[in-house]
A and B are shown apart, each in its own frame.
Chain A
Amino acid sequence: MNTMNEPRLQRDDAIDSLARRRRDEVVVSTMTAIGPWMRNSPSANNLVCTGFMGGASTLGLGVALSQPDLGVWVLDGDGSLLMQLGSLVTIADAVPRSFLHVVFHNGVYEVSGGQPLPGEGGVSFAGLAAAAGYAEAVCFDSIEALEAQLDQLLAVSGPVLIELMTEPCGDGYQPPPPLLEPTREPFADNWRAVRDALEK
C-alpha cells in the first residue's frame, strides 16, 4: 500500500501524458485536475465539474451510455470519488466499453488546505474498482510506469480505472470567482456546448 512517504508522481506529468493521447474523447474533469487539463487539452468536448463534488464519474457514465462509440475519460479526485463511491458499482454494472476513469490519489483534500482523507494509506481505489467489477484497474506511482502501460490500457474494453498516486501540489485548484452579477453558472453553457459539439 502506498503511503505519503513513498514516491509519487506529479499530477501535471500525468495530465501531459493523457493529453498527448487525447483524440476526440469527451473528458470530464473535476477539482484540481480541471486547471491543468484545460490548459493542456482545450476542446469543445471538455466537461468541467464545479459545484457538485462527487458527480463527475456518473456524469461521464451518462455521456458514455448516450454515445457508446465515443470515448469518455473521467479525471476524478480521490475525495470526490469517495463522496459517491457506489458509482464504481454503477459504472461496472453498465459496462461502458470506452470508459477510462482516472483517479488522482493525492491523499488529501487539497482544495480545503490539505487535510488527510479518511482511511488514507489504507485505501486502494484500483482495488475497489476491481472488486466492483471494472474490466481493468491498475495503480501507478511513477510517470515511467504510466507511460509504459497507458497505450495498452486505452485499448482495453472498459470500464478501466487508473489510480495515480500523486504528490499534493498545493497550488492546483483555484476556486471560481464569486458571481458578482446575476448570470448563468458556467456549467449551464458548458454541457450545452458539449452536446452541440457531439451533434455535429
Chain B
Amino acid sequence: MSNSHKNNTSKPSSAVKNAQSIPAQDLLDAMTHAGVQDVVMVPDTHQRCLIDLLDEKLEPRVIRVCTEDEGVALCAGLITGGRFPILQIQHAGLYACVNNLRGIAMDGEMPLVMLVGLLGRDLARTPRDNFGSMVRLAEPLLDTLGIPYILLDGPDDLPQLADTLASFANRDGPVAILIGAEPS
C-alpha cells in the first residue's frame, strides 16, 4: 500500500489557514432557525459542546441511537413522518454506516443531513492532508459516494451552513456538513 499520504503531511500546506472553532451556540442557532426538529446522534467527542447545549433544551429533540446505521434509518423514518432531523455523528460513524447511507439515503433520494465531526484533525492542514485516516478519508469517501458536503472551517462559513440547512425540503439525497474544528 502506498504511503504517499504520509509524504503529503510532512509539512503544513502554506495555502491553508488554520481552521477556527465555531461557537456551539451559533451552530445551534442555525439549526433552530432552519427548523431542525430532531437531532439523532451517536455522541461525537468533537461536538461535545454542541451536545451539552442540546441536552439543556427540549427542542430540537435529541434521540440517541446505538449505531450510525440505526441513525440513518431512524432519520429516514422521521422524514417519512414529516419531521426535519439531523444525524449528528463522528467521522468514524460515517465509515460505519455506508450501506444504509447507500441503500436508504442515496437510493431512496432521502434528504438526510449529516453533521460530521472531524475529531483529531490537525487544524493547520486540510482534512485531506491530515495523517490520520479517519480525518483524511472523509472527503474522499463522500466524493466516491457522490454525496455533496460543506466544510465548516470557522465562523465565516456559517452562511454555508444556513444555506445547506435551508435546502432540506428541496433535496433529493443526503448532504454532509463537516465540522472542521471542535466547536467552543
Q: A residues within 8 Å of B by Cβ? A: 47, 51-52, 54-67, 70, 84, 86-87, 89-90, 93-94, 184-185, 187-188, 191, 194-195, 198-199
Contacts and interface: CB of A to CB of B under 8 A. Distances in A.
A61 B81 contact: no
Interface of B: 38, 63-67, 69-83, 85, 99-100, 102-104, 107-110, 172
Nearest to A93: B64
Contacts of A187: 103-104, 107-108
Contact of A188 (B63, B77, B109): B109
A30 to B, nearest CB: 11
B80 A66 contact: yes
A66 B172 CA distance: 20
A184 B77 contact: no
Given A58-B70, A191-B108, A90 B79 contact: no
Given A84-B70, A86-B66, A191-B108, A64 B77 contact: yes
A176 to B, nearest CB: 12
B103 A52 contact: yes
Contacts of A86: 65-67, 70
A90 B64 CA distance: 7
B81 A65 contact: yes
Contact of B81 (A62, A184, A188): A62
Contacts of B80: 47, 59, 62-63, 66, 191, 194-195, 198
B109 to A, nearest CB: 4
Contact of B75 (A56, A62, A194, A195): A62
Contacts of A184: 109
Given A84-B70, A90-B64, A199-B82, A65 B99 contact: no
25 contacts: A47-B80, A51-B103, A52-B104, A54-B69, A58-B71, A61-B77, A62-B74, A62-B76, A62-B77, A62-B80, A63-B77, A65-B38, A65-B63, A65-B77, A66-B82, A84-B69, A84-B70, A90-B70, A185-B108, A187-B103, A187-B108, A188-B109, A194-B80, A195-B81, A195-B82
B63 A59 contact: no
Contacts of B71: 58
A84 B71 CA distance: 11
A67 B70 contact: no
Nearest to B61: A65
A52 B81 CA distance: 19
Contact of A59 (B64, B104, B109): B104
A185 to B, nearest CB: 4
A54 B102 CA distance: 13
Given A54-B69, A86-B66, A90-B65, A62 B82 contact: no
